[in-house]
Amino acid sequence: MFLAIMSATPEQRVSKYAEFANRGLAEAHVARFTDDFPQAFVELMPGTAPFSHWRIDMDAQTLIVDSTLEQNTSTDSDVAEAIRAVAEDVGPATVAKVDAILGPAPEEGG
């Protein structure tokens, strides 16, 4: 799996990327959007490292995995709850898409 790293935040966190099955597809994507993202580059997917541990240096065109970060202690239900909260702010169509992916929200109190 290859990543087209399109942009990063000042804190070196990826802010826009796309995944591709091979390097050629990822490079084609970068080339297509080079005017909008002149520092974009292609990198091999960093194994199973959590997204939150990725550090991007757009100038050096590198992705490193910061293994010194504490492990995320969020549970799947915490993450699902946060996703649903954002979806509710966006609107009913987004909630329906989230429910289609995650399954319906659990009933309150149960």
* Per-residue tokens: 70: 């504490």
User: Of 95 and 30, which is predicted with more confidence?
Assistant: 30
Given a cut of 90, whether residue 76 has pLDDT beyond it is no
pLDDT band of residue 109 (cuts 50, 70, 90) is: low
Residue pair 84/92 in contact by the 8 Å Cβ criterion? no
Give the pTM. 0.59
Q: What is the DSSP string of 42-62?
A: EEE--TT--GGGEEEETTTTE
pLDDT digits (tens, 9 = 90+) for 6-54: 998 888 888 899 999 999 999 999 999 999 999 999 998 887 777 778 8
